[in-house]
Amino acid sequence: MFKQISHTFLYVLDQDEALDFYVGKLGLVVHTDADIDVMRWLTVTLPGDDSLQIGLLVPGPPLHDEATAAQVRELIAKGGAGGGVIFETDDCVGTYEALRAKGVEFTQEPMERFYGTDCALRDPFGNPLRFTEQPRPA
Nearest residue (CB) to other proteins, 14 versus 91: 14
- Return left, alpha or beta for 25; rule: phi > 0 is left, psi -120 to 50 is alpha, else beta: alpha
CA angle 128, 106, 75 (to 5 degrees): 30
From CA 136, how far away is CA 58, in angstroms rounded? 39
- Considering only 38, 49, 62, 114, the residue that binds other proteins (CB under 8 A) is 114
Task: Give the interface size with other proteins as a residue count (CB under 8 A).
Answer: 25
**List 73, 97, 100, 136, residue binding other proteins (CB under 8 A):** 73
Q: Which of 34, 70, 93, 98 binds other proteins (CB under 8 A)?
A: 70
- Of 33-41, 47-55, 87-95, 122-130, the segment contacting other proteins by CB under 8 A is 122-130
What is the helix (H) or strand (E) element at residue 133, kind and residue range? Answer: strand 128-133
**Euclidean distance between CA atoms 17 and 131, whole angstroms:** 21
Report if residue 113 touches other proteins, rule: CB under 8 A: yes
Contact 58, 13 (CB under 8 A): yes
Given 25, 31, 40, 130, the residue binding other proteins (CB under 8 A): 130
Exposure string of 4-28, with b = 16+ CB inside 10 Å and e = fewer, is eeeeeebbbbebeebbebbbebbeb
- Does 77 interact with other proteins (rule: CB under 8 A)? yes
Which residues make up the interface to other proteins (CB under 8 A)? 13, 70, 73-74, 76-79, 84, 86, 105, 107-108, 111, 113-115, 118, 120, 122, 125-126, 128, 130, 132
